[in-house]
Structure 1
Amino acid sequence: MSRAKALQYYIFTRLLLAPLTIWTIVTLVFLLLRATPGDPADAILGNRAPESAKQALREQLGLSDPLWLQYIHYLGEILRLDLGTSLTSRGLPVWEIIQQHFPATAELSFFGLGIAVLVGAGFGILSASRPNTIFDVGGRLFGIVTYAIPLFWMGMIFQLIFSVQLGWFPLGTRFPIGIEPPNGMTGLYAIDSLLEGNIGKLFTALYYLALPSLSLGILLSGIFERMVRVNLRQTLQSDYVEAARARGIPERKILLSHALKNALIPVITVLGLTFATLLGGAVLTEVTFSWPGLGNRLYEAISQRDYPTVQGVMVFFGAIVVLASIVIDIVNAAIDPRIRY
């Protein structure tokens, strides 16, 4: 079988397995939500509401049905691409909640990942190109420390230093109250400001985005630093690099033109999966900085036992991760001809 046909077969197989993966996510979320303590009726009506009112609400929401029947009904809604209606947002469809809050999460994830790649790759290249020096030790220490620090703790420390003590950045939110945010199709304030041609709103959006994205990016940079350092060091010790040195090619050209390209192949895989995970994993950063993203909305839905919202958001995030993994495999195959399927 030729490489092109093998790759096509692999992609086709992954596409067939994607619905199974999403179904597994749907099932696990459905069961785990109903295994957790708490009652949505209490969250909606309050603990002091009459039991008759709570029971009527459970029947209205279908929560009094047997578990298997609730599961069948929910699978039917998923197959119709209906994520349901929120229990706590005045009957707002879950799709509308995703449309309202996802752009904020995407913007935070994009800028956070950009900072992580720039900082992590920079430290990794510096450490790998100067082994057994203070740069190497510092790079390894940076990778270990940033990987170990809790995300919420870093966010609070950044707020304490740069917002409370120095007053350089706002404590939270996405845009100042009383100022109309940029209007646009994307929902990404930085891009919409550019499309409007409003430089003032662009700087305001970046100003409010700086601290949460910096907090998120620095902690994630440790992952990229360690991967770039390890892979680049192994590549610099390979035979073709030694042959390039023997031919008198400058070390800088060897590093940038020969070694770095091959060393970044595993990093690309982590890059794509990290971005997909960030879309659903920036919950702590969004909660810490009161960022109005989908992760913050998911945290509120979990606290309020809003089953449809939690399930719908998790299915949405799961679909993004599955799609990202397929795209990453295709990109890796295009970059590295040695990959076989």
Structure 2
Amino acid sequence: MAGFVLRRALLVLPSLFGLLIVTFLLIRMVPADPAAALAGDNATPAQVQAIREQMGLDQPLPAQFLRYLGDVARLDFGNSSYSSRPVALDIRERLPATLELTFAALLIATVLGVPLGVIAAVHHNRWPDFLLRVLSVAGIAMAAFWLAIMLQMLFAMRLGWLPLRGQLSVGLTAPDGPTGSVLLDSLIAGRLDIFTDALRHLVLPAVTLSLGGLATITRFTRAGVLETLQKDFVGYGRAVGVPRRRLVWIYVLRNSVVATVTQIGLLFGGLIAGAVVVESIYDWPGIGSYTVQAILTADSKVMLAVTLLIGLIYAVVNILTDMVHALIDPRLRDEG
């Protein structure tokens, strides 16, 4: 298994390097001057030029890229022109909130999507299947910002069941802890009041973010189970009297989840990217809202750092997905 993981990791490095080059060039092509944005509206041309020289923007692109590679190797992404703080520090403080939201959304999508996909396949071309197919198409087509606003209006403003926005209520402070996650650190500190409040704030953003992933997992699970139900071993199991639930939920499901596991891995990275919209609407203090501010202020250092981070997360998740595939089907480990 160690050799399998090492081979997958080596394949990731060229992808990350290519991502860094493409993103660096695209950001430099945007008609915005980070030095002017940092200097402010009242800055003189001389002040803007001084900032450009300080940031190295007056150098040729190859020199700028080599300088940036050296900074990335030292995990030095410079200072944000929006917050005037080190980008690495901002990301380290905000990443736990985004991961908390992403894991919650992925958990909702997986826990609901896999059983719904199995139910749709078992009741193929009957009303549960038709209903779930319609709902899955609607889930993929529905815009996240519209759903977020509708959920806020219903559950926060009209019913008053859940908070409208934010991560904690006014007057509560997240406890210091080793993870940076409000939920985990509040449990470690024994602050159930903070844990409950944070969980209530998490519900609406997580449900909003999970909808597209829930529809995707349902569709892929349904397709995988339908294919497996045609296998010979299923007919043999029925013939020898294996209980239907055991046959479907253990043997059929295990042989049907390879494509679903792949989608779960891909969805994790996609959810982090999709959190930009959701975090902005719910005022969630993660890297999504931080990225929006960076785009508005033409903060190229933040955009490059966040893009590289998301690419790295995609790479790590893909490696973990391949490991799960190898555990499910050892033949993949021998081939890979």
TM-score, normalised to structure 2, is 0.94
Per-residue CA deviations over 1:260-318 (Å, capped at 9, x if unaligned) read 11111221122122123323331111111111101111111121111111111211221
CA distance in 2: counterparts of 1:15 and 1:337, whole angstroms: 19
Task: State the Cα distance separating 1:41 from its structure 2 match.
Answer: 2.6
1:193 to 2:215 alignment: no
Determine whether 1:40 maps to 2:22. no
From 50, 53, 65, the equivalent of 1:56 is 50
Instruction: Return the alpha-carbon distance in structure 2 between the equivalents of residues 52 and 186 of structure 1.
Output: 44
Q: Is the 1:41–1:54 contact (alpha carbons within 8 Å) kept by the matching residues of 2?
A: yes
Whether 2:13 is the aligned partner of 1:25: answer no
CA deviations 1:46-96 (Å, max 9, x no partner) are: 334322221221112111222221111111212233222222222x22211
Identical positions, percent: 35
In structure 2, the partner of 1:67 is 61
Per-residue CA deviation, residues 306-331 of structure 1 (Å, 9 max, x unaligned), is 11111112112211211211121122
Return the alpha-carbon distance in structure 2 between the equivalents of residues 282 and 65 of structure 1.
Answer: 35
Give the superposition deviation at 1:238.
1.0
Q: How far does the alpha carbon of each residue in 1:136-158 deviate from its partner, in whole angstroms, 9 at most, with x for none? A: 10111111110111122211121
Q: Which amino acid aligns with 1:110?
A: F
- The answer (yes or no) to whether the contact 1:119–1:218 under 8 Å persists in 2 is no
How far, CA to CA, are the matches of 2:32 and 2:41 in structure 1? Answer: 11
Contact 2:101 2:202 in 1 (8 A): yes
Hey, what's the Cα distance between the residues in 1 that align with 2:244 and 2:312? 43
Partner of 2:96: 103
Alignment match, 1:170:
163
List 4+ stretches of structure 1 deviating above 6 A.
none
1:262 aligns with: 255
Does 1:211 find its partner at 2:204? Answer: yes
Letter in 2 for 1:66: P
CA contact (8 A) 1:103 1:188 kept: yes
Aligned partner of residue 263 in structure 1, secondary structure: coil
Q: What is the CA–CA distance in structure 2 between the aligned matches of 1:22 and 1:103, rounded to whole Å?
A: 22
Residue by residue over 1:11-42, the C-alpha shift from the partner in whole angstroms, topping out at 9 and shown as x without a partner, is: 44332232211111111111111111221133
Partner Cα distance (2:199, 2:170) in 1? 15
Number of the residue aligned with 2:153: 160
Aligned residues of 1:84 and 1:312 also touching (Cα < 8 A): no
| DSSP-derived class of the 2:330 partner | coil
Distance in 1 of aligned mates of 2:9 and 2:250: 35
Unaligned ranges ≥5, structure 1? none
8 Å Cα contact 2:97/2:181 also seen in 1: yes
Range 221-230 or range 280-289, more displaced: 280-289
Choose from 294, 299, 314 the match for 2:307: 314
Q: What is the distance in 2 between the residues matched to 1:133 and 1:144?
A: 17
Distance in 2 between the 1:35 and 1:325 partners?
A: 30
The alignment partner of 1:282 has SS state of helix
The gaps in structure 2 that reach 5 residues or longer are: none
Q: CA separation in 1, counterparts of 2:284 and 2:270?
A: 17
The match for 1:112 is: 105
How many angstroms apart in 1 are the aligned matches of 2:44 and 2:76? Answer: 32
- Do the aligned partners of 1:127 and 1:139 also contact (CA within 8 Å) in 2? yes
Among 219, 227, 231, the alignment partner of 2:224 is 231
TM-score (norm 1): 0.93
Does the aligned pair in 1 maintain the 2:140–2:211 contact within 8 Å? no
Q: Shift of residue 105 of structure 1?
A: 0.1
Which amino acid letter does the alignment assign opposite residue 23 of structure 1? F
Out of 175-184 and 285-294, give the one that drifted further: 175-184
Q: 1:131 aligns with which of 120, 124, 133?
A: 124
